[in-house]
Amino acid sequence: MSDVLSGKIGDPGLLSEVLGAYSFPGSVISAEPYGEGHINDTFLIRVQSPEGKHPRYMLQRISREAFPHPEELMANFVAVTSFLRRKIMAQGGDPERETLSLIRTRGGADFYTDSHDQVWRLVPFVEGTVCLQEATPELFEASARAFGHFQQLLTDYPADTLYETIPHFHDTEDRLEKFRAALRGDAAGRAAGIPDEIRFVKEREADCSVAMDALRRGILPLRVTHNDTKLNNILFDIKSGEGICVIDLDTTMPGLSIFDFGDSIRFGANHCREDEKDLSKVNFDPALYERYTRGFLQGTGGCLTQAELDYLPWGARIITLELGIRFLTDYLNGDRYFRTAYPEHNLVRCRTQFKLVRDMEDHFAEMQAIVQKYAGTH
């Protein structure tokens, strides 16, 4: 079993060390790399109990490169999942399936720090579920209900008590400043070749302050937000097709609900890859936007303020612009952050996001009307 993971974790003996820190209800019979995540290392652990059962667990090594303070991340994880369990139970749900649970070490700790100073956590595998990379419109809407319900469950959680696991993660003004610094430095000597992309950002500098200014003025409330609301961060029930559990809570921290909404729209309300070179294939889909909006507002159950409803379309525009700026910044810096497959990869990604921004601008009145339709405010 150690040989299976030796290439993944570096030290063949490390697996035994980590697994030995936990008490399992039987013998560990297999451990295999699992999933398609690019940040943490995840392994599926299979156990055989004396009664002949085969419980499964997810073991994850938290990336210190992405999360320099994993103890703060885990403090957020414990606090949020404990709160969710109480809420789900109060609403008559099943907390064993509708939120993540944590298995503590033999010593009662929330996580294990190994001999290489790497942090690990163990959670039960949620049986009868599937994690998807692509979805039908029906499943996209189901994911919206799940993310909306996540907001509803956490609506009265004191967001300011959580750590920022990645400071300024969705601070669009900060992202703009980093772009400006990259443009001034021009470390890779690429600025001269991208005048159109630079102009695109400069023409939308004011947009980068729309949400942050509304937060400062108290128009938009600070909430507990997931901050990575892609389809593959939902577990879908195999039988019903409903999204029942929000996973990957590492970026759950204080934020804006409109950005959780917007990131799903950016990711799912189109039919293109994130690095599609042919921009004629990159188109914002108002029909998918409507499906997601309907599901999200069903899930939130009326917990959003009127201002949040008004700003939802802005959330989609801003978060898409932000990611395009991040890709462009990394391109200017010489591709230091995002993994790239070829020299222009980040530039291609940037252009895809900017095309979606332009489409959203063209459909903005329609996007606003759709929100009003399902919020009952028209």
Distance CA 247, CA 257 (A): 17
Would residue 218 count as lying in a domain?
yes
Report the chain's terminal Cα–Cα distance, integer Å. 60
Predicted local distance difference test score (pLDDT) of residue 38 = 61
Question: Is there a single domain that holds both residue 279 and residue 308?
Answer: yes
Distance CA 145, CA 293 (A): 9
Total domains in the chain come to 2
Asked if 159 contacts 241 with a C-beta cutoff of 8 angstroms, the reply is no
Question: Is there a single domain that holds both residue 252 and residue 187?
Answer: yes
Distance CA 373, CA 62 (A): 42
Max distance between CA atoms of the chain, in angstroms, equals 68
Predicted local distance difference test score (pLDDT) of residue 152 = 97
Task: For 218-258, give the secondary structure using H, E and C.
Answer: CCCCCEEECCCCCHHHEEEECCCCCEEEECCCCCCEEECHH
Would residue 58 count as lying in a domain?
yes
Predicted local distance difference test score (pLDDT) of residue 149 = 97
Distance CA 74, CA 39 (A): 15
Which of 72, 98, 125 is a domain's end point?
125
Q: Is 28 helix (H, G, I), strand (E, B) or coil?
A: strand
Predicted local distance difference test score (pLDDT) of residue 65 = 87
Question: Is there a single domain that holds both residue 207 and residue 77?
Answer: no
Q: Can you give the CATH number for the domain in which 84 is found?
A: 3.30.200.20
Asked if 143 contacts 234 with a C-beta cutoff of 8 angstroms, the reply is yes
Distance CA 221, CA 305 (A): 8
Predicted local distance difference test score (pLDDT) of residue 134 = 85
Question: Is there a single domain that holds both residue 107 and residue 181?
Answer: no
Predicted local distance difference test score (pLDDT) of residue 52 = 87
Would residue 196 count as lying in a domain?
yes
Predicted local distance difference test score (pLDDT) of residue 12 = 63
Question: Is there a single domain that holds both residue 110 and residue 147?
Answer: no
Distance CA 34, CA 105 (A): 21
Question: Is there a single domain that holds both residue 99 and residue 162?
Answer: no
Phi, psi for 284 (deg, rounded to 5)? -70, 135
Which of 125, 156, 189 is a domain's end point?
125
Predicted local distance difference test score (pLDDT) of residue 321 = 98
Distance CA 14, CA 20 (A): 10
Question: Is there a single domain that holds both residue 332 and residue 308?
Answer: yes
Question: Is there a single domain that holds both residue 73 and residue 198?
Answer: no
CA of residue 146 relative to chain centroid, distance = 13
Question: Is there a single domain that holds both residue 96 and residue 208?
Answer: no
Question: Is there a single domain that holds both residue 243 and residue 304?
Answer: yes
Q: Where are the alpha helices (DSSP H) in the chain?
A: 2-9, 14-19, 70-90, 95-98, 137-153, 172-185, 195-202, 210-216, 257-268, 286-300, 306-333, 345-362, 364-375
Would residue 198 count as lying in a domain?
yes
User: What contacts 338, CB < 8 A, 6 or more positions away?
Assistant: 326, 327, 330, 345, 346, 349
Range of the domain at 271: 137-375
- Tens-digit pLDDT string for the chain (378 aa): 444 444 455 566 888 899 999 999 999 999 999 876 667 889 999 999 989 889 999 999 999 988 999 999 999 999 999 999 999 999 999 999 999 999 999 999 999 999 999 999 999 999 999 999 888 999 999 999 999 999 999 999 999 999 999 999 999 999 999 999 999 999 999 999 999 999 999 999 999 999 999 999 999 999 999 999 999 999 999 999 999 999 999 999 999 999 999 999 999 999 999 999 999 999 999 999 999 999 999 999 999 999 999 999 999 999 999 999 999 999 999 999 898 999 999 999 999 999 999 999 999 999 999 999 999 744
pTM, two decimals, is 0.92
Query: Of 201, 220, 227, 203, nearest to 322 (Cα)?
Result: 201
Would residue 291 count as lying in a domain?
yes
Question: Is there a single domain that holds both residue 264 and residue 343?
Answer: yes
Would residue 181 count as lying in a domain?
yes
Question: Is there a single domain that holds both residue 220 and residue 155?
Answer: yes
Phi, psi for 61 (deg, rounded to 5)? -100, 120
Which of 125, 146, 174 is a domain's end point?
125
Would residue 343 count as lying in a domain?
yes
Distance CA 15, CA 144 (A): 37
Q: Can you give the CATH number for the domain in which 210 is found?
A: 3.90.1200.10
Would residue 1 count as lying in a domain?
no
